[in-house]
Structure 1
Amino acid sequence: MTGHHSLSDMLTLRQAASLLGVQPQTLRRWESEGKLSARRTGPRGLRRYARRDVQRLLQSQDVRVRNAQQVVVEVARAISGSLDLHAVAKTVVEAAVRVVGSDRCAIYLVSADRTTIEPLWGTDVTDPASAERLFFPNPIPIDALPLVRHALQQPQPLVIDDTETHPLSNPELFRFFETRTVINVGLRGPDGEVFAVMPFLWTGQPHSVRDDDVFLAQSLAALAEVALSNARLFEEIEQERQRATIINDVVHDVHGGRDLGDTLTRAIKSLVQQLHADEGAIFLIDPQGTSIVGAAETHTHSAGRVGVVAPLQSVPLVARVVEHQRPRLVTIQETEGNERQWFESLQIQSSLYVPLLAQGKLVGIAFANYRNRTPHLKARDTLFADALAAQCALAMERVQLLESASARAAELEAVIAQMQEGVIIADRDGRIVLVNEYAAQLHGTAKLGVAPDDYSEAYHLSRLDGTPYPPLELPLSRAVLQGETVSNAEWRITLADGSEVIASGSATPLAGADGTRLGAVLVVRDVTARRKLEAEKDQFLSVVSHELRTPLTTIKGLTELAVRRIDRGVNPAAVLGSLHNVSKQVRRMEGLIGDLLDIRRLETGTLPLDCQVHDLWPLVEEARDRAQAITDRHTIEAQLDAMKPLRVYVDKGRLDQVFDNILSNAIKYSPDGGMIVLMLSRNDDQAVLRISDQGIGIPEQGREQLFERFYRGANVPPSEYGGLGIGLALSREIVQRHSGTLILEGTSPRGSTFQLCLPLV
């Protein structure tokens, strides 16, 4: 302290300590550390401190505490919603070294059997790279850490100023960790039991721990305590959910007639996994109660118990099981004689035995064994084991009946599955319980448990006109709810890709021998192809009748005109024009009939092809000339973009037919005339012909159906544009027979381009 102060400006040791909120000995330590100066003043020469220096120190402490409290608040916000143990621990630990000022901090979880601690997260600000070596070794025995044993028993933090001298220290261990000062805080769960410890560590020289260090350490530990408790609670809830799922799966196995061995194996594996045992096995007692047989095992060090039969009394612990008839943990220390020999032969430290009881009768025993430890099992652990064992016992009690029923059900399901019709069965409440493979593929789903109110939505059903199908009016609903027999009803099914199919089905109520209502069955089939065929047939008949009637009407009129002129003595030369027109209409009819015959031959695979090697360019020029000869409103050009001859192996007559079909369409659908271009080029090993026009184009919604038989675009009124709608379908089939492709390359309201590719030879 510098300068002179009056006695009224000086504070005694006790007055200064009281103002700072610390013990006098702490104040003396701060003086030795140079944080506060003192002088002896007054008549008695007492140690006194300048009031201004004490207030300055107090203000600096307040600032540190306020800053630390702000960090604590930020940490609280950061971890408030987290249920990840490691994320919570990392956030708290990394903040702790900043707030408290320690060199290291970590959180260790106490094992379930309370024999070891395992690091959850740790950090070292002096050497971050050493964190893994320091905080992530193997589990540390609690017996080697008296301060952890102290934390398990005492709620208050433990402060070890010097690990070399403190009675609760382990100097050798702390030397390994290079630690000299520790504040150790136990983290307690809602049950008051310590589940983790949080040490704050200083390295090098002993650190003078202040009261506010302990306070801040407690504050951070309290945050970790709450957040980790919530995360552990979430883990426990998740574990209970998993266990409920396991029980439900075993129940499903039992009621589903699954093989008993598979059910018991699943059960013992689940028991060992959930209770963190090292191995497990299930033994069944025969109906006479005289022998026992191994039924399932997992992780056993000497496999081979399954199928082994032994006298019941030869198996240790049976007497305990019969006496207690509930799960019980037995340690090797509790055993003697045969029981102890059994423990030693299995090389185990403890064993949880679980009786399998069916209507109070012992029908088997499940064992979960621990090789080197005795677990700290909770009530919910034994409840889970008991519930699992009860289901195993139920499986055994019902196994014969279920196997018999399962065999009959398997036979029935095999028949239903192989049916070439869909079968959907509903129970007496209308809930769907079976959907065979055909029905599942037809509907795109096989949802079970669906109630009548949800049939339409679950299976995407609508009326034929596309309007919603009221679910209670569906055939299956009427059969199961009203007892009606419904025949040959039809509806639409919308699949996931947006496509639709038409289904036809009949539904019949199911009843038992005594008339009890059991449910209903729906037999359904896909009639989409049939309905499409019927629509195509109707369309075909309509188009063919129109296309044939038109030339026939013309032929009839021209013939009658020619007869009348001849009867009147008109010069025969004047009749010749009418006869030429008759011949033209006859050729048109021949073309229509020829196309129809070719379609039929392609369907039956009898269309003959007389293929030879041809240079494609002359064939294209000939097609251009034929097309130009029948139109005065169009200019048709053929262009070659290739240096060498493009030789192809084709039937010239059929290829001419393809060219003529495409070019006639280009002329027909270009009513205003314009340019038609045939561009021939080469692309690797293919000849590519593009035929472009300046016509009306093809609507987007009809492009996928363009090459289907009898399809006509929405912008092609039959009254304005004739034809059967089979030219492109026939052309593509012919091109494909030549190992080529025919596609619509592009289209717009100003014209279309078709691309024809043929392999070169």
Structure 2
Amino acid sequence: MQKQAQQHLKSLNEALDVLAKYTLPVDTRGALLLTRQRLKQFERSLQSPKQDGLQAVYRIAQSLGTTLNLDEVLNHVMDAVIELTGAERGFLTLVDEDTGQLSLQVARNIARETLAHADMQVSRTVIQSVVEKGEGVVTTDAQSDPRFAGQESVIFYDLRSILCAPLKVRGKIIGVIYVDNRAKSGIFGRENLDLLSVFAAQAAVAIENARLYTQTDQALAARVKELETLSQIDHDLNAHLDFERVLGLVRNWATKSTDGLESWVFISGEDVDALMLADGPMDGATPSPALSDVASFLDKPTPQTLSPQDKNITYLIAPLLHAGKTVGALAISREKDFSEVEIQFVQRLASRAATSIANNRLYQAVEQANRSKSQFLAIVTHELRIPLTSIKGYTDLILSGSAGAEVTDLQRQFLGVIRKNVNRMADLIADLADISRIERGILKLDVEDVSIIQCLQDTLDSLRHKIEERNQTLVVKKSDIPPVEADPKRVVQILTNLISNAWKYTPDGGMITIAVFEQKDTVRIDIQDTGIGISPEDQTKLFSQFFRSENQAVRDQNGWGLGLNVTKQLVEMLAGEIGFTSQLGEGSTFWFTLPLTHLAKNEGETDE
């Protein structure tokens, strides 16, 4: 009999499913819904109520653990409660952790549909009673129940059967489950409340787990987004060494990241009290905070808020701290208060801004020092050149005997020393003048088609006697080399510096090999010696200004540590490259390249 009744119930439910697919009047749909509810109640009555309820709770509790998505968990809980109780509608509210107020999260009906706003009428009195007492409530007819009959919501919405239970986790109420039936009284009894309470305890744990997971996931996503933003800020701030641009970037990020109205950057001098507005409007969307107010927060380690009584805005003022020193402050304004998350973000932004500002200040100081150095070199080289020219001229005049008096051998020796040192000073002045012009960007190059072989020949003509004096062997490997685009005077200067170093630091009887050959679209010149070589430590500093090795063999030779620096800069200005290889105690090979002329490049491509 029971089995036959269940088959009939199944057939009736299938028929109702077919009817539900058609567009029906509202009254008819309501009748179908009520019929479905009664069929479910009848189906439960065919079984042992207790056994059926416990089995349903067990089955539903198992399914709750299949997801940690909060929205899915809430919908699943609400649908399960409606199925478990046979209610017409169900509502689930959660307590907002920040405000402590109840917030409606889910509103569903027996067809597992989300209710329209017009159908979301509930008895807030019943819900509030459950929250305050921490106990469930059941009423078979709210219209006649003395606890609720006088409540406006019960009367106005014509509420009848109501069942409501708290959601508790570790003794704390996190929300409420509320179900009802507006059409009929006597739907729920005490056994329904007991069953709902058992289920609510299971559901509360699932909801809390999902909520914690969602909060953690959201917090992680927010942190990742913040790190991405800070990475972009780092990139923007480090991409520029223009002080004004950096200040503008800091303000832009501060305003955009906090939805601020306006922002300002204040900079302090060596004296922290000497605070001034460096960037930001005096009269923008909101007035600039007073300097005295900003200064009062400079000794605070974290950002502070300021809400002037005569202004309907809030300022957030963050000190700019770098290496334990205050370099200024960042101020942001807006109409609403700043959250703790925003304050922490601004603190991180201020830290990056302080580092960037300090680096820009250092860069400006270095640039100013370089300008001062270049200016000093220009003055010194000019002032030294005049007396040296006179000394050299008069020395040559005396040595030639044109001064009238006969020059003794001892005097000639002394004059030779003077002449030698004048030449050394002249070389130094020439190098200093070149460095000054290069750094100021005013070194003029007369680029033309140049024969590198001719430049090499001119250089060797001036240096050959020094190589022969030390009994060194000179080997030149060359062939027909196309012209290069270069300044012939500077090419000779480059060759002179490199070949001079080769004979200076190669022992008597050593060998110097010079090779000239084409390499793609360039001409490459290698100058190899069998000299003292260069240590790995010295190799990293070799092209630095005024660098000279501590090696005694190097110290024994005259030099100022400028030649290689000038040579490198000249090669690069001529669109070439320079480098070297060296082994301590075995010798070195210095090389550089210069670009072929366009004509020579085109001829090379044609030959191919």
Give yes or no for TM over 0.5: no
Normalized per residue, the structure richer in strand is 1
TM-score (norm 1): 0.36
Normalized per residue, the structure richer in helix is 2
